[in-house]
């Protein structure tokens, strides 16, 4: 597998530096809960909005070949700067009808199974994979449980660790727990500035810990679910700048800021041969977590 | 003259509050059928009610003792314990919660891992404990289980994990979530080496534990009537706004939906596992043969020191 053109690389680097500079500029103190609200903003660009702006010739594929097609996850072939690639992403709707159709971006087991089926196609034909995460979480319903959503998520986690092709993950909105992680194991994990990624929603956390979901703002602070927090913990490799005030203000600008980073990261991942790539992916996951030893506590 | 005569005086009446037979620590009441069970007998029956086969919850050390040959095993990585990476405070600081759980349970962490023999096979066993912060999975649990799998790869043994968990540990935030991916990646490497992983689901197994290693067993078996699912029943009830059927998310439900291999009574568990290991631990498979077979994708150079 080779990149077929690299014309934008230099420009990409320049943009990257700019983005880094802007991010570090003073007066930058959006609270965790403000970011939660931005991540859920109804006008925020969703997966299909980014596909439209970053990729050419998107060809959607459907169904898990077992039970159904899940509209909460979209999969398809496309070209990224002329390089054929697979796209997998959660899709939320914008109006009420669309939202219902997409089940508010909450996948059912068939969604995860469609995703891994598509990813194995990409592996077979040696094409890179781009994953876009934007979901409140797995769908908590009877049918999803009956069809084994825990198994579907677990299977994806194990199989994605083994994919021989580059996997670039971008959290573009909400990264809701297992439903997000099920398409989130990759060589690179990127995150938009106002996206969130959490083990539980702030409301759910507050309901359990304080028996009061109105404490969500406090939970959001405690959970450390923002992009800068997660970069610090080594979960996220790079935080991507958004248009002023949030990505909802300009989809075009949001895509323009993401584009060079995706390109860079893909190029980086392609420089590794397969054993190196898998070894790196394993080591990246392997070092996640902070624990202590019973004699003296500290980070490993 | 009467035939009988009272030699002693009147017997003092016993006051009502004193009229009790002291049975604490002798009898237990079954939570399911309400029968009174002789504690010693219950212990002999591996904490299973002799009347209705209700499976009482079992602690982590008990589990491992009942798994290994002659109850003998060597604990691994006991020094790995939780810290408080986020400085999380809910009703009390998370550090206090950890310390309290350690005091109350006598366990260092929500999972105990050990090395030993089962039916003569080399086995790396792990058991979770619900009494330790709801058996939740944080960084330390993830690290101990990942190391367990890596030990098994190094020494070519089988992995057996008894799951019992409320899910990922909220107090460690997204790091807890990442443990799911970390353990699953280690299982991917184990699979490449053609080494078995047996997952035993016990009451209750939910959330992130179910959606990672618990559902990735080459063999997945469950104790009778164990609650097993991803979303908890209360969350589902709130979402769909109706009561759930009684057997929903129980072992029997999972078996009939094709999600698990078998429901095994705790008293039959060890012989069942040994039969499975006899099948899976094939001496013809060696580290050289698997490397030749598939060309290992994972070198696992990044394992712990």
Look at B82 and A295 and tell me if their CB atoms are within 8 Å. no
Question: Which structural domain range is residue B39 located in?
Answer: 15-56
Domain boundaries, chain A: 32-297
* CA-based torsion, B204, B94, A133, A170: positive or negative: negative
Look at A233 and B174 and tell me if their CB atoms are within 8 Å. yes
Contact between B78 and A295 under an 8 Å Cβ cutoff? The reply is: no
User: Does residue B122 sit in the same domain as residue B189?
Assistant: yes
Residue with tokens 């700048």, as numbered in its chain: A241
- In chain B, the number of structural domains is 2
Of chain A, the end-to-end C-alpha distance in Å amounts to 37
Q: What is the mean pLDDT of each run of 10 residues along chain B (305 residues)?
A: 76 73 78 89 92 93 95 94 90 92 95 97 97 96 97 96 96 96 96 96 96 97 96 85 87 96 96 97 85 62 50
User: Given this model, what pLDDT does residue B10 score?
Assistant: 78
Maximum separation of any 2 CA atoms in chain A, in Å? 58
Residues of chain A with pLDDT below 70 are 1-28, 295-300
Buried b (16+ CB within 10 A) or exposed e, A243-273: beebbbebbebbbebbbbbbbbbbeebbeee
User: Does residue B20 sit in the same domain as residue B167?
Assistant: no
Class of residue B301 by CB neighbours under 10 A (exposed 0-12, middle 13-18, buried 19+): exposed
Residues of chain A in contact with residue B297, where contact means CB-CB under 8 angstroms, are: 162, 164, 274-275, 278
Contact between A5 and A81 under an 8 Å Cβ cutoff? The reply is: yes
- Give the pLDDT confidence of B242-282 residue by residue, as tens digits: 888 888 999 999 999 999 999 999 999 999 999 999 999 99
Residues of chain B in contact with residue A155, where contact means CB-CB under 8 angstroms, are: 215-216
User: Does residue B73 sit in the same domain as residue B155?
Assistant: yes
Look at B231 and A138 and tell me if their CB atoms are within 8 Å. yes
- The ipTM, to two decimals, is 0.88
Residue B195's CATH number: 3.90.226.10
- Give the pLDDT confidence of B144-160 residue by residue, as tens digits: 999 999 999 999 999 99
Phi, psi (degrees; rounded to nearest 5) at A101: -60, -40
Side-chain-side CA neighbours of residue A61 (13 Å): 18
Tell me the shortest Cα–Cα distance from A8 to chain B, in angstroms: 33
Angle between helices B139-155 and B174-192 in degrees, nearest 10: 10
> What's the rounded Cα separation, in Å, for the pair A42 and A154?
30
Closest CA to A72 of A30, A97, A31, A100: A100
Question: In this structure, is residue B203 part of a structural domain?
Answer: yes
Type and span of the H or E element at A50? helix A47-54
B27-29 and B36-38 as β-strands: parallel, antiparallel, unpaired?
antiparallel
Q: Is pTM, for the whole model, over 0.90?
A: no
Contact between B113 and B143 under an 8 Å Cβ cutoff? The reply is: no
Query: Under DSSP, is residue A131 helix (H, G, I), strand (E, B) or coil?
Result: strand
User: Does residue B184 sit in the same domain as residue B278?
Assistant: yes
Alpha-carbon Rg for chain A, nearest whole angstrom, is 19
User: Given this model, what pLDDT does residue A30 score?
Assistant: 84
- B83 lies within 8 A of chain A by CB: yes
Distance of CA A98 to the CA centre of its chain: 21
> What's the rounded Cα separation, in Å, for the pair A219 and A97?
31
Secondary structure letter of residue B165 according to DSSP: E
Residues of chain B in contact with residue A158, where contact means CB-CB under 8 angstroms, are: 184-185, 187-188, 191, 216
User: Does residue B160 sit in the same domain as residue B29?
Assistant: no
Task: Please name the member of B83, B170, B259 whose beta carbon is closest to the beta carbon of A292.
Answer: B83
- Count CB atoms within 10 A of the CB of residue A18: 13
User: Span A32-297: which CATH code?
Assistant: 3.90.226.10
Question: In this structure, is residue B304 part of a structural domain?
Answer: no
Secondary structure letter of residue B68 according to DSSP: S
Question: In this structure, is residue B4 part of a structural domain?
Answer: no
Contact between A289 and B143 under an 8 Å Cβ cutoff? The reply is: yes
Question: In this structure, is residue B157 part of a structural domain?
Answer: yes
Closest CA to A137 of A100, A178, A184: A178
Task: Please name the member of A148, A199, A297 whose beta carbon is closest to the beta carbon of B168.
Answer: A199
Can you name the residues that pair with A169 across neighbouring β-strands?
A131, A189
User: Does residue B48 sit in the same domain as residue B109?
Assistant: no
Q: Cβ contacts of residue A61 below 8 Å, gap of 6+?
A: A75, A76, A77, A118
> What's the rounded Cα separation, in Å, for the pair B228 and B209?
10
């Amino acid at each position: 597998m080779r990149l077929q053109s690299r014309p934008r690389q230099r420009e990409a680097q320049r943009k990257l530096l700019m983005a880094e500079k802007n991010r570090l500029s003073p007066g930058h103190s959006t609270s965790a809960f403000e970011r939660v609200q931005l991540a859920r903003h109804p006008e925020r660009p969703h997966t299909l909005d980014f596909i439209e702006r970053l990729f050419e010739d998107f060809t959607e594929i459907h169904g898990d070949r077992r039970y159904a097609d899940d509209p909460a996850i979209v999969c398809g072939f496309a070209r990224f700067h002329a390089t054929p690639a697979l796209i997998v992403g959660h899709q939320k709707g914008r109006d009420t009808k669309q939202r219902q159709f997409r089940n508010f971006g909450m996948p059912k087991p068939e969604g995860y199974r469609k995703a891994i089926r598509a990813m194995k196609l990409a592996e077979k034909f040696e094409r890179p994979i781009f994953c876009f995460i934007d979901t409140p979480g797995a769908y908590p319903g009877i049918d999803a449980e009956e069809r084994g959503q825990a198994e579907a998520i677990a299977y994806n986690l194990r199989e994605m660790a083994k994919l021989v092709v580059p996997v670039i993950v971008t959290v573009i909105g909400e990264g809701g727990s297992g439903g997000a992680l099920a398409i989130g194991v990759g060589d690179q994990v990127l995150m938009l500035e106002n996206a969130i990624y959490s083990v539980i929603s702030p409301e759910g956390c507050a309901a359990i810990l304080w028996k009061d979901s109105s404490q969500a703002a406090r939970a959001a602070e405690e959970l450390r679910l923002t992009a800068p927090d997660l970069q610090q913990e080594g979960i996220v490799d790079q935080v991507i700048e958004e248009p002023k005030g949030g990505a909802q203000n300009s989809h075009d600008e949001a895509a323009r800021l993401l584009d060079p980073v995706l390109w860079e990261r893909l190029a980086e991942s392609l420089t590794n041969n397969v054993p190196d790539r898998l070894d790196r992916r394993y080591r990246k996951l392997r070092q996640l977590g902070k624990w202590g030893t019973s004699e003296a506590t500290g980070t490993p | 003259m009467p035939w009988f005569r009272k030699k002693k005086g009147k017997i003092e009446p016993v006051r009502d509050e004193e009229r009790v037979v002291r049975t604490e620590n002798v009898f237990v009441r079954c939570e399911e059928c309400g029968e009174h069970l002789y504690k010693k007998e219950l212990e002999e029956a591996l904490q299973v009610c002799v009347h209705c086969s209700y499976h009482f919850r079992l602690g982590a050390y008990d589990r491992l003792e009942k798994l290994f040959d002659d109850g003998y095993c060597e604990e691994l990585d006991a020094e790995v314990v939780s810290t408080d990476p986020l400085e999380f405070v809910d009703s009390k600081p998370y550090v206090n919660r950890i310390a309290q759980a350690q005091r109350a349970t006598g366990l260092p962490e929500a999972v105990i891992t050990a090395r030993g023999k089962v039916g003569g096979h080399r086995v790396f066993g792990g058991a979770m404990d619900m009494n330790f912060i709801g058996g939740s999975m944080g960084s330390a649990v993830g690290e101990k289980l990942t190391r367990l799998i890596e030990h098994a790869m190094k020494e070519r043994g089988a992995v057996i994990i008894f799951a019992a968990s409320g899910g990922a540990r909220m107090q460690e935030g997204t790091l807890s979530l990442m443990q799911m991916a970390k353990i699953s990646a280690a299982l991917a490497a184990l699979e490449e080496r053609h080494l078995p992983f047996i997952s035993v689901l016990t009451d209750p197994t939910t959330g992130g534990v179910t959606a990672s290693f618990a559902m990735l067993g080459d063999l997945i078996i469950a104790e009778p009537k164990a609650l097993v699912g991803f979303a908890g029943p209360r969350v589902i009830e709130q979402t769909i706004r109706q009561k759930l059927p009684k057997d929903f998310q129980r072992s029997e439900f999972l078996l009939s939906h094709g999600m698990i291999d078998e429901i095994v009574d705790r008293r039959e568990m060890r012989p069942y596992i040994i039969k499975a290991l006899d099948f899976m631990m094939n001496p013809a498979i060696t580290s050289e043969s698997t490397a030749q077979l598939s060309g290992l994708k994972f070198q696992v150079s990044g394992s712990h020191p």
